[in-house]
Structure 1
Amino acid sequence: MQAELLIHAQWVLPVDPLDRQLTDHAVAVADGRILAVLTSEEARRSVEAQRVIELPGHLLMPGLVNAHTHAAMVLMRGLADDLPLMTWLHEHIWPAEQRWVDPAFVADGTRLAVLEMLRGGITCYNDMYFHPEVTAQVTAEAGMRAVIGMIVVDFPTGYAASADEYIAKGLALHEHYRNHPLIRVAFAPHSPYAVSDAPLQRVRALADELEVPIHIHLHETRDEVLQSLRDHGERPISRLNRLGLVGPGLVCVHMTQLEEDEIALLADSGAHVVHCPESNLKLASGFCPVAKLLDAGINVAIGTDGAASNNDLNMLGEMRTAALLGKGVAGSASALPAATALRMATINGARALGLEDEIGSLEPGKSADLVALDLRDSHTQPLYHPVSQLVYAASQQQVRQVWVRGRHLLRDGLPTGLDNGRIIAAARTWGERLGR
């Protein structure tokens, strides 16, 4: 077998249907795709590789999928902490966005976010923010994978003046990236309270026509539900269902306020849920009933949310919090085990984004989006169970290697194609402006 790259690792986690934990295995890569996952002994006999990388003491796994972000908002990290969601949005974040968010802000913020995510083992993210064409360009230039949201709200911003203009700009974005190897798009109506019925119905029709997902904040807080009951006479998910949006292409973010019939609706429709545990905790938004959703057969992924409400883009930390919080909410120590949290952060995220045939697991034919962590660190010793150590003990600093489509984007903990000093200097400049 001819390969361009052969990576040997002490442990390989394919995140396949059997949840195997492989010891002393290798992954062979050619043309940016996985050729084979095989024992190191067999690989040394049967694979001729142009480059061989030996990773003793390392765990090799699929790249993490951050299923909900507002990447450029990393420049608002710490700007308005310790506030409830609506106060945070109306009195701090939205005014700051009206004043400062422009293409330069989004470009610098996205570069910082991409740098942080790659260093934390994230190879794909799902974004919702203004100037998505800038987010897409910066991400593609960095060699990272993303699903970029075609943002829609009713109110005017510096990006667009009306829902029709948001949608028109989104359609242009879709056309530009329709055949791109790294960038996909999704419709991203912000939330039921920020988008009226007519634009939501148009989004539904266009999403069906273009076969793209719909990414939306939903049932994030109790106040959101009460507002919907007051203004529309029904709960938000019922309204979306009436408008035809609830289906296998719907990606519902947060979902902290759910009743049993709503869980049944999600299960029957094939809709996906993205759990953002740390953002929900920080904003006191509520608790997503993850164990109930999983038991009902609903696909649940994990997202960090934006760094303005988290305050990081750390999917390793998010996995740990999701696992621990899931146990507490369910009242069972066996709820949401480590292997389930890992699936939520990899293949479940890929499935929610319609990318499960491309990423999310290490299987022949899939893209070589790979991450290696050094588990020889004191944080993860002694090591009895690799998946448990990964979820409950590993840190971002242990991420040493990252590949996307076989391209080495993080080598020995250092980015290969991003100017770390320049990116941080730009972030500091924005901090000085916003902090005045």
Structure 2
Amino acid sequence: MPIATPLLDLLLVPDWLVPVEPAGVVLEGHALGIRDGQIAWLGPRERAPQAREVRTLPDCLLTPGLINAHGHAAMTLFRGLADDLPLMTWLQEHIWPAEGRWVTEAFVADGTDLAIAEQLKGGITCFADMYFYPREACDRVHRSGIRAQIAVPLLDFPIPGARTPDEALHLAIELFGELRHHPRITIALGPHAPYTVSDENLEKIRVIADQLDAPLHMHIHETASEVEQALKDNGERPLARLARLGLLGPNLQAVHMTQISDEDLALLVESNTSVVHCPESNLKLASGFCPVERLWQAGVNVAVGTDGAASNNDLDLLGETRTAALLAKAVAGSATALDAHRALRMATLNGARALALEAITGSLEVGKAADLTVFDLSGLAQQPVHDPVSQLIYATGRDCVKDVWVAGQQLVEDRRLSQMDEAALAANARAWGARIGGRNE
């Protein structure tokens, strides 16, 4: 007798389904089944197995959950604090002093909660974070149900939560061991930038990263002045220095990379290093333009990130991806650069690859986690729908996010957070704003 197929927990039946892998495919008349938190079935809806629940999604597009490959989650509480300033002025005269005064474990917990809520409502199912008190960030991720890579920040000078680089490294090793089997959290080492970490400490970080097989997350070539200062100080471009120290490779996530010479490109290609593009932060801080199309054509994996809300000022990855697609065309001087399908891939599967999560998430494939986002394309601004992916990238905002699942758990239902209290989050953020702005003093 034939073996009965186990019931699906949930069958989703959208008008359009974009698996991302294979590339460039839009499926109509298809459904996706979830069982035990994973994608258990995908195929024509008339062949779908039985399910405990069937949900029809008219006028909706089902995609993999978006992946925000770089940010500083708790900095949501500094949103709008110091705008319209160049990077180093912004950092040295405003952000670093504010962090010195305000950043505590409570600040990180509350700011991370706010960031998680904003990201979930924007269709993001996984994010990469680099900020102080990473244990608090891990706790908030664990509670919320979202997926994340938490990078432990490593700098040569004292930071909130770590008095020395060795103390920060010890914390990273500790967290890595504690969470290595967590289903939704991975730990990375986060050397802040080439100009804030010495060769000696970078070598320590490389040894630990190699021993743990841990990801590395680092701001690199963010501005032309960073590269120029490095050449002046030691006659070496930062990327070449990192190559000399053995840090380049598939575990490195090189964030920003607005300055790329032919030699830099060759190093990225040879080492299989991923680049994380943060176009809106780079535009706002006038940091430069990452040549995305050039990298893509050379075979470099390019993901997309929002950066922190203090420099963006939002965590809207769909909007970020639209900006990335438009900017790529202008930088390349070609209207065909970074088309809509590749832009969506950059915001999903490429992000998963950068974070070493491509076996788990980033595309709609049987066996992967059910990390899913549903976009409602029924609005006037989305009509008519000739190509749902083009409509998503060029004509749709994050307000069209209808439903979000992470590992099969629904975290956004009909545009509302199902596990978090939005009113309480907003009230708490306003209270922090009053304290930081001096309105309580």
Q: How would you bin the TM-score normalised by the shorter chain?
A: over 0.9
2:279, 2:84 → 1: CA distance? 16
Per the TM alignment, residue 48 of structure 1 is displaced from its structure 2 partner at its CA by 1.4
Q: How does 1:267-286 map to 2 (within 5 A)?
A: 267-286=269-288
Contact kept in structure 1, 2:278 and 2:305, CA below 8 Å: yes
Per the TM alignment, residue 17 of structure 1 is displaced from its structure 2 partner at its CA by 2.5
Corresponding residue number in structure 1 for 2:396 = 394
2:417, 2:392 → 1: CA distance? 22
Residues 212-235 of structure 1: CA deviation (Å, up to 9, x unaligned): 110000000011112211222211
Q: How does 1:88-99 map to 2 (within 5 A)?
A: 88-99=90-101
Per the TM alignment, residue 407 of structure 1 is displaced from its structure 2 partner at its CA by 0.3
In the alignment, structure 1 residue 72 sits paired with structure 2 residue 77: no
Per the TM alignment, residue 157 of structure 1 is displaced from its structure 2 partner at its CA by 2.2
Corresponding residue number in structure 1 for 2:205 = 203
Corresponding residue number in structure 2 for 1:36 = 41
1:157, 1:9 → 2: CA distance? 47
Q: Which runs of 4+ in 1 moved over 6 A?
A: none
Corresponding residue number in structure 1 for 2:176 = 174
Which amino acid in the other structure matches residue 340 of structure 2?
A
Per the TM alignment, residue 176 of structure 1 is displaced from its structure 2 partner at its CA by 1.5
Q: Given the alignment, which residue of 376, 398, 407 partners 1:405?
A: 407
Contact kept in structure 1, 2:133 and 2:160, CA below 8 Å: no
Per the TM alignment, residue 392 of structure 1 is displaced from its structure 2 partner at its CA by 0.5
1:247, 1:371 → 2: CA distance? 31
Per the TM alignment, residue 300 of structure 1 is displaced from its structure 2 partner at its CA by 0.2
- Secondary structure of the residue that 1:326 maps to in structure 2? helix
Corresponding residue number in structure 1 for 2:381 = 379
Contact kept in structure 1, 2:150 and 2:185, CA below 8 Å: yes
In the alignment, structure 1 residue 11 sits paired with structure 2 residue 19: no
Corresponding residue number in structure 2 for 1:359 = 361
Q: Given the alignment, which residue of 14, 28, 46 partners 1:23?
A: 28
- Secondary structure of the residue that 1:69 maps to in structure 2? coil
Corresponding residue number in structure 2 for 1:305 = 307
Contact kept in structure 1, 2:9 and 2:51, CA below 8 Å: yes
1:157, 1:189 → 2: CA distance? 12
2:156, 2:319 → 1: CA distance? 34
Q: Given the alignment, which residue of 141, 144, 155 partners 1:139?
A: 141
Per the TM alignment, residue 264 of structure 1 is displaced from its structure 2 partner at its CA by 1.1
Corresponding residue number in structure 2 for 1:329 = 331
Per the TM alignment, residue 170 of structure 1 is displaced from its structure 2 partner at its CA by 1.2
Which amino acid in the other structure matches residue 290 of structure 1?
V
- Secondary structure of the residue that 2:194 maps to in structure 1? coil
Higher mean displacement: 228-237 or 292-301: 228-237
1:69, 1:25 → 2: CA distance? 34
Per the TM alignment, residue 119 of structure 1 is displaced from its structure 2 partner at its CA by 0.2
Residues 317-339 of structure 1: CA deviation (Å, up to 9, x unaligned): 01100000000000000011011
Contact kept in structure 1, 2:15 and 2:59, CA below 8 Å: yes
Corresponding residue number in structure 1 for 2:416 = 414
Corresponding residue number in structure 1 for 2:129 = 127
Which amino acid in the other structure matches residue 354 of structure 2?
A
Once superposed, what is the RMSD of the aligned Cα atoms? Answer: 0.8
Per the TM alignment, residue 117 of structure 1 is displaced from its structure 2 partner at its CA by 0.2
Residues 229-252 of structure 1: CA deviation (Å, up to 9, x unaligned): 122221100111111101111110
1:217, 1:435 → 2: CA distance? 28
Which amino acid in the other structure matches residue 234 of structure 1?
E
Residues 367-412 of structure 1: CA deviation (Å, up to 9, x unaligned): 0000001100112111100110010011111101000000010000
Corresponding residue number in structure 2 for 1:292 = 294
Contact kept in structure 1, 2:23 and 2:341, CA below 8 Å: no
TM-score (norm 2): 0.97
Which amino acid in the other structure matches residue 17 of structure 2?
V
Per the TM alignment, residue 24 of structure 1 is displaced from its structure 2 partner at its CA by 2.1
Which amino acid in the other structure matches residue 393 of structure 2?
V
In the alignment, structure 1 residue 216 sits paired with structure 2 residue 218: yes
TM-score (norm 1): 0.98
1:309, 1:379 → 2: CA distance? 28
Which amino acid in the other structure matches residue 35 of structure 2?
A
- Secondary structure of the residue that 2:328 maps to in structure 1? helix
Which amino acid in the other structure matches residue 31 of structure 1?
D
Q: Given the alignment, which residue of 101, 104, 114 partners 2:103?
A: 101
Which amino acid in the other structure matches residue 286 of structure 1?
G
Per the TM alignment, residue 280 of structure 1 is displaced from its structure 2 partner at its CA by 0.3
Q: Given the alignment, which residue of 186, 189, 192 partners 2:191?
A: 189
Residues 294-333 of structure 1: CA deviation (Å, up to 9, x unaligned): 0100000000000100000001101100000000000000
Which amino acid in the other structure matches residue 88 of structure 2?
M
2:214, 2:351 → 1: CA distance? 15
The gaps in structure 2 that reach 5 residues or longer are: none
The gaps in structure 1 that reach 5 residues or longer are: none
- Secondary structure of the residue that 1:149 maps to in structure 2? strand
Which amino acid in the other structure matches residue 308 of structure 1?
A
2:253, 2:23 → 1: CA distance? 26
Which amino acid in the other structure matches residue 265 of structure 1?
L
Contact kept in structure 1, 2:189 and 2:214, CA below 8 Å: yes
Q: Given the alignment, which residue of 331, 341, 344 partners 1:342?
A: 344
Which amino acid in the other structure matches residue 80 of structure 1?
A
2:23, 2:310 → 1: CA distance? 37
Per the TM alignment, residue 150 of structure 1 is displaced from its structure 2 partner at its CA by 1.4
Same amino acid, percent of matched pairs: 55
1:259, 1:317 → 2: CA distance? 28
2:32, 2:160 → 1: CA distance? 46
